[in-house]
A = this chain, B = another copy of it.
Amino acid sequence: MKSYRKELWFEVPARRGFVNITPQVNDCLKESGIMEGLLLCNSMHITSSVFINDDERGLLLDFEYWLEKLAPHSPVTLYQPHETVMLYQHNATGEDNGDAHLKRTIMGREVVVAVTAGRLDFGPWEQIFYGEFDGRRRKRALVKIIGD
């Protein structure tokens, strides 16, 4: 069994952004020489994601607005049955990225992709994205491939 490892580094200039990393992941696969196996690609941070979807500009905007609706950046008052609660308690530590942890949870930490005949075994529209929710600093994703 062969194994391969590489870190991909990013610095998204805004707080949030999506980067299509399919070409870099493809380069890793070629470099590995693995023909049959599984490829894992995961964010190494807890405020960013690796996910698979379509590379379509409108869709990426929809993700941005939808995630902001489900887990807004600005603190939120939640009315629970017997109490009023402030999201994000995480930000009481001096952070302002409580929402980024939740957004990343919706989008996912990782993808596992089949490797067949030396290629990413994808359907016609599948593209791998790095999703940043707390950017403006250098962060990274891991590519690990095992197989023959």
Do A65 and B91 form a contact, CB below 8 Å, given A101-B54, A106-B106? no
Q: Which of B42, B62, B93, B144 contacts A98 (CB 8 A)?
A: B62
Judge whether A121 and B144 touch: CB under 8 Å. yes
Instruction: Give complex CA distance A116, B122 in Å.
Output: 26
Q: Which of B57, B62, B148 contacts A88 (CB 8 A)?
A: B62
Q: Which of B108, B144, B148 contacts A38 (CB 8 A)?
A: B144
Copies of this subunit = 3
A74 interface residue, CB < 8 Å from B?
yes
Q: Which 5 A-B pairs have the closest CB atoms?
A: A44-B123, A114-B144, A58-B89, A58-B90, A3-B36
Judge whether A80 and B62 touch: CB under 8 Å. no
Judge whether A58 and B93 touch: CB under 8 Å. yes
Q: Which of B65, B91, B105, B123 contacts A140 (CB 8 A)?
A: B123
- Report the contact-size class of chain A (Cβ under 8 Å from the partner): 35 or more
Q: Interface digits, A62-81 against B, CB 8 Å rule (1 contact, 0 not)? A: 11011011110010001011
A interface vs B, CB < 8 Å? 1, 3, 5, 36-38, 40, 42-46, 51-54, 56-59, 61-63, 65-66, 68-71, 74, 78, 80-81, 85, 87-93, 98, 101-102, 104-114, 116, 121-126, 140, 142, 144, 146-148
A-B residue pairs in contact (CB < 8 Å), sample of 19: A3-B148, A38-B144, A42-B112, A43-B123, A44-B122, A45-B125, A54-B101, A56-B93, A58-B89, A58-B91, A61-B89, A62-B102, A66-B71, A66-B87, A105-B106, A114-B142, A116-B144, A121-B142, A123-B140
